[in-house]
Amino acid sequence: MTFAEIVNKLNGIAWGPWMLILLVGTGVYLSARVGFIQFTKFGYAMKNTLGKLFQKQTAGGGEVTPFQALTTALAATVGTGNIAGVTGAIAVGGPGAVFWMWISALFGMVTKYSEVVLAVRYRERNAKGDWVGGPMYYIRNGLGKKWNWLAVAFSLLAALAAFGIGNMTQVNTIASTFNATIDAFGGNTGAKTIALFGQIVPISSIAVGFLVAVIVAMVLFGGIKRIGSVTEKLVPVMAAVYIVCSLVIVGKNFDAIGSIFAMIFKGAFSAEAALGGAFGITIMTTIQKGVGRGVFSNEAGLGSAPMAHAATSEKDPVKQGLYGIFEVFMDTIVICTLTALTLMCGINSGVDITWGQSAGTELIIASFATVFGAKTGSLIVAVGIGLFALSTILSWSLYGTRCCEFLLGHKAVPFYQTLFVVVIVIGATLELDLVWNIADTLNGFMAIPNLVALLGLSGVVIKLTKEHFEKEKIGL
């Protein structure tokens, strides 16, 4: 068995049915324990998150505002998975995959809520005076030092995964999308190339790599406050542009929306019923692709986002936890759904798709082209993916740094950050199928230590939640 085959086998375990059952099952269990607050307290959650986005917030030294913590976490979750990931899930699993994506998100809201609550509850100050937290800290400080090996395992997996899932694959997507856009406008990225790492690489890819590396270095070496300052401006803009453009397409195809939703609900239980023929898409494939892409997109249960939320100036763990509910809602229920509707509208307008076979950004570009034209459609997707991927790199640079610090101490951080920036340039120039699989596998296995901690500390989440809402009742 080759190394690539071993990685593929491990990837099948990391994102296989049993892992997805564990991820969603944890969300169901936690939801039941805290009274399904994603439904019963949804209005309260939106009022205290979305309703406060435009209020002035302040933060002291070594911390960021609750909104900056949210946007830093959203910067990581709202990435290429929201476009290419959703498109691929629908192509392989049929329209019904969207339904199962929603299901994973509805319960993932409480999983993310619980992660954030624990991150704030068990965080600590580092040598620089910054708030640091996340699964490694709530494992050690919550479960106890005898579980430190589990915290180390999480940190090691996340620190390594950051180079792939949050770095090389993201910048490679930016470079390839940029090159495709140049070609769409009549350029020729193959005209100027160079031999690098045994491959023929367009000069434009190297230029993209260096540009992204410079941007990330300027932000990353400025610390958590600079990352928060950048993401609070970048995330709303990138989300707004993509949402508005998607809504234009949905609006243009409004008459077809009813039949599209019918296909989604029918396809959740039978692809043949939704598509009117035998396409060989099984229910298991539909569920696995929907749930898998949903979890991959919003990262509920993986343990990444709590590392950003731990830096908040908010002292109440439950108040910051509400941002976890909003985060999953915005990422999957809003942005992923709009991608799905845009794709389905494109298919309704004649975009060709081969059901049951993998697909990527080419289908969503074609869908945008049905309304905006080929050049503008390609440009919109390129800008969207570019901003989404850049924001993901920024947030994962923080996650990797926090994990390195936990493992090796603060003195090792500059070396990790420098290596992270260098790897950006390399990632823009390589074929990354194997790297993607390795990173995707590490990303999936990160969930195991985190889920153990969530289940072990669920009593703490319940206690803090009850105390918070009891105080709310009596007006404290």
pLDDT in tens, 386-436: 888 888 899 999 999 999 999 999 899 999 999 999 999 988 887 767 777
Mean pLDDT of 308-320: 94
Q: Is the pLDDT at 311 greater than 80, yes or no?
A: yes
Range scoring the smallest mean pLDDT among 8-12, 155-159, 180-184 = 180-184
pLDDT: which is higher, 166 or 278: 166
Please state, as a whole number, how many other Cβ atoms lie within 10 Å of the Cβ of residue 222: 13
Whole-number pLDDT of residue 399: 94
Place 476 in a pLDDT band, splitting at 50, 70 and 90.
low
When mean pLDDT is compared over 6-15, 43-52, 169-178, the highest value belongs to 43-52
Q: What mean pLDDT do residues 127-140 have?
A: 93
Q: pLDDT-derived band of residue 444, with 50, 70 and 90 as boundaries?
A: confident
The pLDDT score that the predictor gives to residue 290 is 87
Percent of the chain residues past pLDDT 70, beyond the cut: 95
State the number of CA atoms in the 13 A half-sphere of 380 facing the CB.
28
Q: What is the mean pLDDT of residues 7-31?
A: 89
**CATH 3.30.465.10 fits domain 3-473:** no
pLDDT recorded at residue 343: 94
End-to-end alpha carbon distance in the chain: 62
Q: What are the residues whose beta carbons fall under 8 Å from the beta carbon of 19, sequence distance 6 or more?
A: 13, 444, 447
* pLDDT, tens only, 424-443: 998 888 776 777 778 778 88
- Judge whether residue 61 has pLDDT over 80: no
Task: Provide the whole-model pTM.
Answer: 0.92
Burial class (CB within 10 angstroms; exposed 0-12, middle 13-18, buried 19+) of 433: exposed
Degrees, nearest 5: CA angle 344-347-349: 115
Q: What digits encode the pLDDT tens for the residues 253-264?
A: 999 999 999 999
Give dist(CA 468, CA 47) in Å, integer. 16
pLDDT of 26 > 80? The answer is yes
CA distances from 40 to 32, 35, 469 (A): 11, 8, 12
> Which pLDDT score is estimated for 228?
84
In the chain, where the domains are located: 3-473
Q: What is the pLDDT, as a whole number, of residue 442?
A: 85
The confidence band for 341, taking pLDDT boundaries of 50, 70 and 90, is very high
Band of residue 475 on the pLDDT scale cut at 50, 70, 90: low
Q: Quote the Cα angle for 447-166-454, to 5°.
A: 20
Instruction: Indicate the pLDDT class of residue 41, thresholds 50, 70 and 90.
Output: very high
pLDDT at 201: 66
Q: Across the chain, what does the average pLDDT equal?
A: 88
Percentage of the chain beyond pLDDT 90 is 48
Q: How far is CA 347 from CA 171, 223, 254, 389, 432, in A?
A: 29, 44, 14, 25, 29
What pLDDT does residue 278 have?
A: 60
- Nearest by Cα to 174 from 394, 398, 336, 446: 394
Tell me what the mean pLDDT of segment 86-99 comes to: 90
What pLDDT is recorded for position 194?
66
Bigger pLDDT: 196 vs 405: 405
In this predicted structure, the answer to whether residue 112 has a pLDDT above a threshold of 90 is yes
pLDDT at 329 over 90: yes
Q: Name the nearest CA neighbour of 262 among 330, 204, 348.
A: 348
The span from the CA of 258 to the CA of 98, in Å, is: 15
pLDDT, average across residues 80-103: 88
Alpha carbon dihedral 66, 67, 70, 74, in 10-degree steps, equals -170
Residue of 357, 358, 365, 303 whose CA lies nearest to 339: 365
Is the pLDDT reported for residue 358 higher than 90?
Answer: no
User: Cα 26–108–11 angle (5° rounding)?
Assistant: 75
If we measure between CA atoms, which residue out of 330, 279, 331, 324 comes closest to residue 86? 331
CA dist., res. 165 & res. 444, Å (int): 11
